[in-house]
Structure 1
Amino acid sequence: MVATTEKSIHVLKEGHVTSPNGFSAGGVHCGIRRSKLDFGWIHSNTPATAAGVYTLNAFQAAPLKVTKESIEKEKLIQTVVVNSGVANAVTGKQGYADALEMQKLAAEKMGVDVDHVAVSSTGLIGVPLPMEKIHTGIQSMENPDCYSAENFEKAILTTDTVTKHMAVQVEIDGKTITVGGAAKGSGMIQPNMATMLSFITTDAAVEHDSLQQALKDVTNKSFNMITVDGDCSTNDTVLVLANGQQNNEILNKSHPQWPLFLEAFQLVSEGLAKLIARDGEGATKLIEVNVKGASTEVAARQVAKAVISSNLVKTAVYGADPNWGRIVCAVGYSEQPIDPDKVSVSLGDIDVVEDGLPLDFDEIEGKQYLENETVQLVINLKDGPYEATAWGCDLTYDYVKINASYRT
């Protein structure tokens, strides 16, 4: 069953990272965590053209470095292995050696080139990778009972409350191209990037340089437009694998249907990003900030990120307090060229500010609107044609509880 969107892109109702042809995935409990699945993998039948974007945190984790080096060397990935519970970050030379060993063991188990394996980790920082348990997880990759997209999605989670997955299909050159994905992320989400891992697959044949640029552009409009708490972690990665199983004419920037492929790619990335934002630690609501009328695309993004990152805005939404002053305050400190006498603000369809001045509105109606599970804040700068959207969540008492006892 599929739901149809415009321009012949179909959203699969049960879409996963394995929806594209030629991909399989699985997950097991290898003992890093007490009882939950904690080791997962994705495998392509053939080496896939690969691209990646990574955290800008100076303390980049060892697995991220190993994966980045392999993609830069070969531009191909066939197997991805991920553990949760331990981040293998700030672990020095031993951590790097352990990431290489994790890569080597997975390559041997799956019978692929060592540089065609991507490794990723998420969890506690500063803790050595328990290699004996990693080895147990890798041995499980030969067990067909461990294979399912759902197992993979569960194995990569940390404080997440739900799995996150999506897939779409689109017709290109007469071929049905599928783009699928899975992600994890719940806290420390302040891209570029955060404690967030996302894995996107497609059975399209795509030229590497075009794929890398597409990933960068799409990430800037999706994963880099979400925030939970303003922190930036050490391991965050978005990987995309294109295995060409549909035998389409190779897609690149010059292909006449490249924009259609980009739209499908964007739809999956944006869908996963919104699922991450909605599942913020302790969150009860998804907040969407839509900025219109900006003088530049950068200005639109920065204003949207300033508002979505404001703890005062986030707590107001949590308390269903229609305190629009917190919104205009965040717009004002966005460090973008703003004319305060032009700015308008709406809570959904409820106009609260027009041309920089407050409007009379029904506060009870405003409070009722903010009690919805999805809240849209609309800001019109009236200064140009550009717009951007950012996503986040409310800030609750439970966020403090979760992070006050994360290690214990």
Structure 2
Amino acid sequence: MKHENQLATKEKVYLVPDGNVTTPKGFSAGGLHCGIRKKKLDLGWLYSDVPAQAAGVYTTNLFQAPPLKVTQESIAKENKIQALLVNSGVANACTGMQGLEDAYQMRRLFAEKMNVSETHTAVASTGLIGELLPMDKISEGINRIHEQENNKASRFETAILTTDTREKGVAVQFEIDGKEVSIGGVAKGSGMINPKMATMLSFITTDANIDDQTLSLALKDITNKSFNMITVDGDTSTNDMVLVLANGKAENNALSQSHPEWNTFFEALKLVCELLAKEIARDGEGATKLVEVQVNGASSEEAAQAISKSIISSNLVKTAIHGADANWGRIITAIGYSGQQLDPDEVSVSLGPIKVVENGMPFAFDEKAAKDYLLKDTITIFAGVGNGQGSATAWGCDLSYEYVRINASYRT
């Protein structure tokens, strides 16, 4: 491990240069083009040498796509997954009984090819809603999985993308019980992003030894502070999934909340999720800026989360940031309709280092300095809303003309 790559955390967690989902021991991944999309890679897979403890968090959209139902069924058997298959281009959502049968067939064909149990196999899909999977193309693609040139983690990162402009992968390393432990992650998502656990998928691997119940609780807690704190356009997809696999190959003592180094693992997993969440927000469709909103002084963490998401979700705030317009009135308006109890006379707002509101009243500021700050590619909005202990951070992006162009012609 390279200590110069230590991340900003109390724990000794190090960023792995060019790290990915295969950085943890025992994992491999790949991708290929099977013909769902015109030219781009559209079928990806992730594999563990041994069945891994599994935990997942899924969309709250009532139109939950068949692949999510099949994957949840797999995990429910033994809380273990060894192989994952993902297609892009077609979401297999709102496809009725045929869509469900296709998801089962996708799982069965892949399980047979990888020589693993169907109940240790997960599937995911992302893309256009309402179309059936071209199962002949997927079947042909599955038959080519073992071709050497297809087996690269970078190809998996590419194969799961839709309107994304770039791949999103990361890995960190640290020590537990004197053993080197790794966590790797990949994500896709650019539009239809407002996870409540959009179209958002994230797959996380670790060689840590941890029991499934502890892993599940940690993932749910961390998701609420990372993936569920991003938004691009306020839409929650039918196919959102965050899946974490832990195969135990680091051979540390089994992790639980009572383990003396539990916090090291928890913070490392949280960092991976936060880094991926921010990359999704940064890559929002048509986005030119990553926007971070930090709220402090709320009555509770839940209130701070609601206020920060209200600000980051406001189309008026997002367009003002795109235009580098320090229109702070839009920010306090979003705070005011967040549904949280607060005293307007205690609200203060800053755009980066530039204070624009103090105690609910305008604060004299340099308009040119504010515009120069808003022209940067990373913007932070600070909002103090009282004297409470609640704080939260949310991430999003600006709203540009390009977002409208992309989504006006998504089907074509």
Matched residue, 1:139: 143
SS for the counterpart of 2:324 is coil
What corresponds to 2:182 in structure 1?
178
1:265 maps to which of 266, 269, 275: 269
Identical counterparts, % of pairs = 62
SS at match of 2:144: helix
Q: Which residue of 2 aligns with 1:315?
A: 319
Partner of 1:228: 232
What does residue 12 of structure 1 align with?
16
| Aligned amino acid, residue 35 of structure 1 | K
Q: Offset of 1:119 from its aligned partner?
A: 0.1
Where do 1:375-394 residues align within 5 Å? 375-394=379-398
Unaligned stretches of 5+ in structure 1?
none
TM-score (norm 2): 0.98
Matches within 5 A, 1:2-401: 2=2, 3-5=5-7, 6=9, 7-401=11-405
Cα distance in 1 for partners of 2:382, 2:19 equals 30
The 3-state SS of whatever aligns with 1:142 is coil
- CA separation in 2, counterparts of 1:8 and 1:306? 34
Cα distance between partner residues in 1 of 2:27 and 2:375: 41
Secondary structure of the 1:119 match is strand
Offset at residue 145 of structure 1 (A)? 1.4
Counterparts of 1:13 and 1:286 in 2: how far apart (Å)?
Answer: 22
Letter in 2 for 1:4: Q
Q: Which amino acid aligns with 2:51?
A: P
Structure 2 gaps of 5+ residues are: none
How many residue pairs match? The answer is 408
CA distance in 1: counterparts of 2:183 and 2:333, whole angstroms: 39
Read off the aligned partner of 1:137 and give its amino acid letter: G
What secondary structure sits across from 1:353 in the alignment? strand
Contact 2:192–2:235, Cα closer than 8 Å, also in 1: yes
Aligned counterparts of 2:37 and 2:320: Cα–Cα separation in 1: 35
Amino acid at match of 2:6: T
Contact 1:300 1:387 in 2 (8 A): yes
Tell me, in whole angstroms, the C-alpha distance in 1 between the residues paired with 2:197 and 2:376: 28
Q: In structure 1, how many angstroms separate the alpha carbons of the residues matched to 2:270 and 2:78?
A: 25
Residue 260 of structure 1 aligns to a residue whose secondary structure is: helix
Quote the Cα distance in structure 2 between the aligned partners of 1:200 and 1:407. 30
In the alignment, the residues of structure 2 paired with residue 101 and residue 367 of structure 1 have an alpha-carbon distance, to the nearest angstrom, of: 54
- The runs of at least 4 consecutive aligned structure 1 residues that moved more than 6 Å come to none
| SS of corresponding position for 1:140 | coil
Does structure 1 conserve the Cα–Cα contact (< 8 Å) formed by 2:298 and 2:388? yes
Given that 2:342 and 2:386 are in contact with CA atoms closer than 8 Å, whether structure 1 keeps it comes out as: no
Q: Given residue 26 of structure 2, which amino acid in structure 1 is its aligned partner? A: G
Alpha carbons 2:12, 2:264 under 8 Å: kept:
no
Deviation, 1:78, is 0.2
Is contact 2:301–2:392 with CA below 8 Å preserved after alignment?
yes
**1:287 & 1:190 partners in 2: Cα distance?**
14
- Structure 1 residue 382, shift from structure 2 partner: 2.2
**Cα offsets for 1:300-358 (capped at 9, x unmatched):** 10000000000000000000000000000000000001110001000001011111111
Asked if the contact 1:26/1:151 (under 8 Å) is kept, the reply is yes
1:346-396, Cα deviation, whole Å (9 max, x unpaired): 000101111111110001110110000000000011231121000000000
Question: Cα offset for 1:193?
Answer: 3.5
Deviations 1:231-255 (A, max 9, x none): 1110010000000001111111111
Deviation at 1:137, TM superposition (A): 1.6
Give the whole-Å Cα distance in 1 for the aligned partners of 2:158 and 2:197.
Answer: 21
TM-score normalized with structure 1 length? 0.99
8 Å contact from structure 1 (residues 193, 233) kept in 2: no
Distance 2:158 2:198 in 1: 19
Moved more, 387-396 or 253-262: 253-262
Deviation at 1:170, TM superposition (A): 1.0
Q: Deviations along 1:86-111, whole A, 9 cap, x unmatched?
A: 00000000100000000000100000
Aligned-partner Cα distance in 1 for 2:387–2:341: 9
* Structure 2 counterpart of 1:240, one-letter code: V
- Summarize deviations over 1:251-294 as a string: whole Å, max 9, x none: 11111111110000000000000000000000000000000111
CA shift for structure 1 position 68? 0.6
CA contact (8 A) 2:103 2:123 kept: yes
Residue 295 of structure 2 aligns to a residue whose secondary structure is: strand
